């Protein structure tokens, strides 16, 4: 069989630990035998981020802006322990944070549903797609400590002049402060991304903030969504038979638990970070979720929603067998290859991506899976636990 050609490169961002090992296996066993893989490679592994003083992260994001599609492996976000472990010259920022700050946009995450794996929440019979705002709030904040006796003030200077708002008088105790921001432009594009995606998949959009407490910050999110919906989307939604629903974040959480799924849950950045892990886990496993960042100017970055699976990696380094689930990383590759194929009019590449996903799902449905899924699997066929490479090879034989 002739290999499928790619006319435009895919931006490939390699990563860390267990997912870096899986990354190579997926390329070697599942992709390269069929596709003449054309990528522009960026090594976002922590060792190379340190070597380049993190410039590689910015370069990779700019490459996505140039080519339109990227695929990213999970990466370590350094903390104090990692600074020591990797002998870092600085506690480099989260690569995802840096990339999202450059591309802007919204992260859509949806569970990969497989026959035989029941969600932990029995009522969730349809997927809940999480739409996470990928810009600003605490991910772009500034923070500081204030000594006892100090005072913190918020100063705003704009065309309306200068205002000073006292944050807190720390006369009785030292403490902490943080300042964060968002922009009307980013919130507007978040709203449009969600409404467009909803029209695409014909699903309702739910959105929630804490506007009763945060009467300017969160309320602005609510107002911008409402205005864009009324002016640009209401008619289209009515025609498509779908709804936009706004409520308070705590009410939303309660309603989501009681729902049957089948809608898009638009979340502010932090809510989306936290809630998507909860939703993914409830559907079975963090490793059974797709994740794509869609930027307002039409760039796509595909990744897995989970991290570098450090606990498994340390076992792997000791020579122990690991059964880490590669499905989310496979779907990051298939999603990126499919999008590349769509943009380039490459039908063979689209077809390959679809077949890769089908082979992955049918492998699990026929009873072959990694350890994390075994206890969740209820079917007529018995569940067979494979290690990561055996599982990938099983997918390859189905493919």
Q: Which CB atom, from 31 or from 74, has the smaller least distance to Mg ion?
A: 74
The mark string for 284-313 relative to Mg ion (x by CB under 5 A, - otherwise) is: ------------------------------
Count of residues touching ligand NAP (by CB under 6 A): 17
CB of 82 to ligand NAP, least distance (A): 6
Instruction: Indicate the residue among 290 and 346 with the shorter CB distance to ligand NAP.
Output: 290
Interacting residues with ligand NAP between 351 and 380 (CB under 6 A): 372
Q: How far is the CB of 273 from Mg ion (least distance, A)?
A: 4
Strand 205-209 to strand 244-248: parallel, antiparallel, or no bridges (unpaired)?
A: parallel
Residue 268 contact partner, candidates Mg ion, ligand NAP, none, CB within 5 to 8 A by sort of partner:
none
Map residues 303-342 to x or -, x wherever contact with ligand NAP holds by CB under 6 A: x--xxxxxx------------xx-----------------
Residue 273 binds which one of Mg ion, ligand NAP, none, with CB within 5 to 8 A depending on kind? Answer: Mg ion
Q: Stretches 32-40, 100-108, 180-188, 267-275: which one binds Mg ion (CB under 5 A)?
A: 267-275
302 phi and psi angles, rounded to 5 deg: -100, 140
Residues numbered 24-83 forming contacts with ligand NAP, rule: CB under 6 A? 74-77
Give the residue with the Cβ less far from ligand NAP, 38 or 79. 79
CA 117 to mean position of chain CA atoms: 22
292: which residues sit within 8 A by CB, 6+ positions away?
107, 108, 109, 300, 301, 302, 303, 335
Residue 242 to residue 23: CA distance in whole angstroms: 38
Asked if 287 contacts 372 with a C-beta cutoff of 8 angstroms, the reply is yes
273 binds Mg ion (CB under 5 A): yes
Residue 87 backbone class (left: φ over 0; alpha: ψ -120 to 50; beta: rest): left
Please check whether residue 218 is in contact with residue 247, taking contact to mean a CB–CB distance below 8 angstroms: no
The residues near 27 (Cβ < 8 Å, ≥ 6 apart) are: 37, 333
For residue 267, give the 3-state DSSP assignment: strand
Mask for 253-292, x = binds ligand NAP (CB under 6 A): ---------------------------------xx-----
Q: Could you say which residues in the range 220-259 bind Mg ion, by CB under 5 A?
A: none
Coil, strand or helix at 57 = helix
Q: Using DSSP, how many helices (H) and how many strands (E) does the chain show?
A: 15, 16
Q: What is the dihedral of CA 186, 77, 335, 326, to 10 degrees?
A: -150
Smallest separation, CB 220 to Mg ion (Å) = 24
Instruction: Give me the phi and psi of 362, to 5 degrees please.
Output: -70, -25
Count of residues touching Mg ion (by CB under 5 A) = 1
- Please tell me whether residue 99 binds ligand NAP under the rule CB under 6 A: no
Q: Which of 96, 106, 189, 290 binds ligand NAP (CB under 6 A)?
A: 96
Q: Which residues contribute to the site for ligand NAP (CB under 6 A)?
A: 74-77, 96, 286-287, 303, 306-311, 324-325, 372
């Amino acid at each position: 069989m002739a290999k499928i050609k790619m006319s435009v490169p895919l931006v490939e961002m390699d990563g860390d630990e267990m997912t870096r090992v899986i990354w190579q296996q997926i390329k070697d066993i599942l992709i390269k035998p069929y596709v003449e893989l054309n990528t522009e490679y960026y090594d976002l592994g922590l060792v190379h981020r340190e070597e380049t003083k993190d410039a590689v992260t910015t370069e990779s994001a700019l490459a996505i802006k140039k080519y339109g599609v990227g695929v990213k492996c999970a990466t370590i976000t350094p903390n104090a322990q990692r600074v020591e472990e990797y002998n870092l010259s600085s506690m480099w920022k989260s690569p995802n944070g840096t990339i999202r700050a450059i591309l802007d946009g919204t992260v859509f995450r949806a569970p990969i549903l497989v026959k035989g794996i029941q969600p932990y929440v029995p009522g969730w019979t349809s997927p809940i797609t999480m739409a996470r705002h990928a810009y600003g709030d605490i991910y772009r904040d500034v923070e500081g400590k204030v000594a006892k006796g100090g005072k913190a003030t918020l100063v705003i200077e704009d065309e309306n002049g200068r205002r000073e708002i006292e944050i807190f008088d720390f006369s009785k105790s030292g403490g902490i402060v943080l300042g964060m921001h968002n922009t009307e432009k980013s919130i507007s594009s978040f709203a449009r991304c969600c409404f467009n995606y909803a029209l695409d998949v014909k699903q309702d959009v739910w959105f929630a903030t804490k506007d009763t407490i945060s009467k300017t910050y969160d309320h602005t999110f609510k107002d911008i969504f409402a205005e864009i919906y009324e002016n640009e989307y209401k008619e289209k939604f009515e025609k498509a038979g779908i709804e936009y629903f706004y409520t308070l974040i705590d009410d939303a959480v309660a309603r989501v638990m009681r729902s049957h799924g089948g809608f898009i849950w638009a979340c502010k950045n932090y809510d989306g970070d936290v809630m998507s892990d909860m939703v993914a886990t409830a559907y079975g496993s963090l490793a059974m979720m797709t994740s794509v960042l869609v930027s307002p100017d039409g760039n796509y970055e595909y990744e897995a929603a989970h991290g570098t699976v450090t606990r498994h990696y340390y076992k792997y380094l000791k020579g122990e067998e690991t059964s880490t689930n590669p499905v989310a990383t496979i779907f990051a590759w298939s999603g990126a290859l499919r999008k590349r194929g769509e943009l380039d009019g490459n039908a063979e590449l689209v077809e390959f991506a679809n077949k890769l996903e089908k082979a992955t799902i049918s492998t699990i449905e026929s009873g072959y899976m990694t350890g994390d899924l075994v206890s969740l699997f209820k079917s007529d066929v018995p569940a067979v636990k494979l290690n990561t490479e055996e599982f990938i090879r099983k997918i390859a034989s189905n493919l």
